[in-house]
Amino acid sequence: MIITGMGMEPLSFTASGMPQADTPAIKKLAGKSPSQGKYGLAYEHFKKQGREDEGIEISLALENWVNFKSIETLLTTYINPLQESPDKHGRIHCSMNLNTETGRISCRKPNLQN
């Protein structure tokens, strides 16, 4: 099986047999830090074909996608729910847990800690 559009063999497969396209797989394709010249498997694939510039572009695009997804996760997990939580005075009330195993305070409904 070949990844359509890139001409690459998939790194791994889902339980249903489709190419894996989760964040860890995308990070392997992008590399550790493409914006700093640390490219991944996508770059290596295109470099072998003499298309190094295309490999760089794809690595940078994948890095941007990973960055976008991490921002989207922060928004949907923390920011958007908190914006819906304030009472009529603009305050957010949560349930505090003072008896944690570590001795730290935690809160839920909503979770106010990262």
Q: Where are the domains of the chain?
A: 1-83, 89-114
Given a cut of 60, whether residue 1 has pLDDT beyond it is no
The two tokens of residue 44 are: 């290596």
Residue 86 confidence (pLDDT): 78
pLDDT tens digits for range 2-46: 556 778 888 888 999 988 888 999 999 999 999 999 999 999 999
- pTM above the 0.85 mark? no
Count the helices and strands in the chain (H runs, E runs). 4, 2
B/e letters for 79-103, b = 16+ CB within 10 Å, e = fewer, are eeeeeeeeeeeeeeeeeeeeeeeee
In the DSSP assignment, the letter for residue 20 is: P
pLDDT tens digits for range 52-95: 999 999 999 999 999 999 999 888 877 787 777 777 888 877 77
Residue 100 confidence (pLDDT): 61
